[in-house]
Amino acid sequence: MADFKASLSDDAPQPALSPSLTALWWAAKGNWDAAHKIVQDESSAEAAWVHAYLHRVEGDLGNAGYWYRQSGQPAAIDSLEAEWDRIIFTLLLGERT
């Protein structure tokens, strides 16, 4: 996770990242539109979770709720930062197994 966070000082995400991690990278850089464009056409549960997070960032909780249901994840009630960390941790863990 530290390597992922350190990469935020780069100008672009690493090309080997999954679409969901790439979207979260752009979200952390403050580029909501780039992040949203990446996940809106993805069909995985992971992308739906990131999509939900992005709509939560946007303040559209109704749309976020839809995407949480699609992802199979409970709607987040903690801080956006805590949810971002949780998603990153979960996705990175999944790539290592």
Mean pLDDT, consecutive 10-residue stretches, the chain (97 aa), reads: 92 94 97 97 96 98 98 97 97 74
Residue position matching structure tokens 């992005």: 54
Picking from 27, 30, 29, 24, the residue whose alpha carbon sits closest to that of residue 10 is 29
Per-residue pLDDT, 97: 42
Per-residue pLDDT, 96: 52
Per-residue pLDDT, 94: 81
Per-residue pLDDT, 95: 67
Picking from 87, 94, 93, 89, the residue whose alpha carbon sits closest to that of residue 56 is 87
Per-residue pLDDT, 1: 83
Q: What is the pTM of this model?
A: 0.93
The yes/no answer on whether domain 18-96 falls in CATH 1.25.40 is yes
Task: Give domain limits for the chain.
Answer: 18-96
